[in-house]
C-alpha cells in the first residue's frame, strides 16, 4: 500500500510555547501509526529542532521545513539551505507551496533546483502543485498542473521520483468561498497519477503518495481520504487545533 500521510503545515503561526504544547497534545493522544502511515509537522524554522526532538522517539512521526533555498550556500541573508536542514536531522521539506509561488515569485525552474538539492541531501520533498481560480474557471486546470509536474519533476530519473511526495492544492477553493467536492479531489488526483504514469509507467505512478491540500478538516478527512487516489492531506488551519489534527491522523487509510 502507498504511504498514507497526515502532514501539518503551521505556516507563520504559533509561538514556540504554543507549538510545543500543540505537539505534546497531539503526541499524548497515543496514536499508533501503521507501517504505511506517517504524520509530518511542517513548522517554522525556529521550531524545527524542538519538533525534531519531540517526534524523535515516535514511530513514523517526522519534522519538516516549510521551505529551503535553491542554492547550496552563499550570501543569501535570511535564507536556509538544505545542508542546514540535513545537519539538524530534518528529512522532509515542503517545496513550491502556493503561497511561496505567489508571494515569493517561485518559478517551476527554481522549484526544480530545490527538489534536486533536497534529494541530494536525503530530504524528501513534499512538492506542491495546484491551480488558481482563473485557471479552474477556464477549464484548463489539467494542463496547468501537468506543466507544474513536468517542469519541476520530470527531469528526474525514476528512482529519484520515487522519493517525492506530491501535494495538490486547489488554490481556487481556498479562501474564495468556493468549495471543492470530494469527487473533484479524486478526479484531479487520478489525473496527476495518470500524468506520472504516462512519463514513468503505472507501477511507479502507483507508488507515489499524492496528498490533498484543500481545506482538509476533521469533519471531511474520512471522506476525502477514502478516495482511491487521495493518500492523505497537507493540512493548514486544522493542524493548529490538536483535536482536529488528531482526528485527521486517525482518518488515514
Task: Kindly list the catalytic residues.
Answer: 97, 169
CB atoms under 10 Å from CB of 74, counted, come to 9
Task: Characterize 119-150 residue by residue with b for buried, 16 or more Cβ atoms within 10 angstroms of its Cβ, and e for exposed.
Answer: bebebbbbbbbbbbeebbeeeebbebbbebbe
List helix spans (H) across 37-106. Answer: 48-55, 82-87, 98-103
Secondary structure element (H or E) that encloses residue 125, with its range: strand 124-129
**51: exposed, middle or buried (Cβ count in 10 Å: 0-12, 13-18, 19+):** buried
CA distances from 132 to 20, 67, 164, 232, 253 (A): 34, 21, 23, 21, 29
Q: Rounded to an integer, what distance in angstroms lies between the CA atom of residue 90 and that of residue 10?
A: 16
For the chain, how many residues are written? 253
Q: Rounded to an integer, what distance in angstroms lies between the CA atom of residue 152 and that of residue 175?
A: 26
Amino acid at each position: 500500500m502507498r504511504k498514507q500521510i497526515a502532514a501539518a503545515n503551521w505556516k507563520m503561526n504559533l509561538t514556540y510555547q504554543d507549538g510545543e504544547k500543540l505537539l505534546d497534545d497531539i503526541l499524548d493522544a497515543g496514536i499508533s501509526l501503521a507501517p504505511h502511515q506517517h504524520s509530518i509537522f511542517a513548522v517554522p524554522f525556529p521550531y524545527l529542532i524542538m519538533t525534531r526532538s519531540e517526534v524523535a522517539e515516535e514511530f513514523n512521526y517526522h519534522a519538516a521545513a516549510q521551505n529551503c533555498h535553491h542554492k547550496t550556500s552563499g550570501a543569501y541573508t535570511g535564507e536556509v539551505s538544505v545542508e542546514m536542514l540535513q545537519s539538524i536531522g530534518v528529512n522532509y521539506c515542503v517545496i513550491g507551496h502556493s503561497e511561496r509561488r505567489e508571494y515569493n515569485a517561485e518559478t517551476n525552474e527554481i522549484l526544480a533546483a530545490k527538489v534536486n538539492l533536497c534529494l541530494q541531501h536525503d530530504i524528501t520533498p513534499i512538492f506542491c502543485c495546484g491551480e488558481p481560480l482563473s485557471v479552474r474557471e477556464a477549464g484548463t486546470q489539467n494542463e496547468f498542473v501537468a506543466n507544474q509536474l513536468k517542469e519541476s519533476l520530470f527531469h528526474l530519473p525514476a528512482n529519484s521520483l520515487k522519493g517525492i511526495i506530491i501535494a495538490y492544492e486547489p488554490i481556487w477553493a481556498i479562501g474564495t468561498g468556493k468549495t471543492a467536492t470530494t469527487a473533484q479531489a479524486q478526479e484531479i488526483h487520478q489525473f496527476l497519477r495518470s500524468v506520472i504514469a504516462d512519463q514513468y509507467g503505472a507501477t511507479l505512478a502507483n507508488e507515489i503518495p499524492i496528498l490533498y491540500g484543500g481545506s482538509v478538516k476533521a469533519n471531511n478527512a474520512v471522506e476525502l481520504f477514502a478516495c482511491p487516489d487521495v493518500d492523505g492531506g497537507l493540512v493548514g488551519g486544522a493542524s493548529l487545533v490538536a483535536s482536529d489534527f488528531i482526528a485527521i491522523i486517525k482518518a488515514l487509510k
